[in-house]
Amino acid sequence: METESEKNRNIQCNVDEIWNVLGKTWALLILKKLTENEVTRFNEIKKAIPQISNTVLSERLHELEEHGLITKKIYAQVPIRVEYSITRQTKDLGKILERLDGWVVKWRKEKSKRKT
C-alpha cells in the first residue's frame, strides 16, 4: 500500500512530467492553434504566432510530437509538405484548456471589478 508521502511524490512527478512539455514558452499557443483545424502546416502556425522564431517553433513541434501530443505527416513531394495534427490525448487536453480559459476570463473580470 502506498504511503501519503509516496502518493504526493507520484502526483508531483506527474505534474513535473507534463509541465516540462506544456510549460515551455509557446507550447500551449501552438497546441491551441493546432486544435482549430484538423491539419495545420508549419507556416500557418507561424502566421498565427508571428513572434516565435522558426527554430523555436520547430523545437516545440518536435517536443510535442515526442510526447505524443501531435502527429506529423510528411508528403514526399517538391517542395516537401508537412502537416501537423493533434492526437486523441491532446483532444482530451483541449477540454481541460477550455476550462482553464474560462477560469482566466472569470478571474480577469473579477480583478478588473476590484480596480474600478
Q: Is the pLDDT of residue 7 over 80?
A: no
**Grid coordinates of 26:** 509557446
Binning pLDDT at 50, 70 and 90, where does residue 44 land? Answer: very high
Its domain, for residue 45, covers: 4-115
Contact 69, 27 (CB under 8 A): no
Helix axes 54-66, 27-35, angle to 10 degrees: 70
Q: What is the CATH number of the domain that holds 70?
A: 1.10.10.10
Binning pLDDT at 50, 70 and 90, where does residue 46 land? Answer: very high
Instruction: Return the percentage of the chain with pLDDT > 90, whole number.
Output: 50
Instruction: Enter the pTM of the model.
Output: 0.76
Angle at 21 between CA 92 and CA 90, to 5 degrees: 15
- For the chain, the domain total comes to 1
Alpha-carbon span 100 to 19, nearest angstrom: 15
**Grid coordinates of 41:** 502546416
DSSP H helices in the chain: 4-22, 27-35, 42-48, 54-66, 88-115
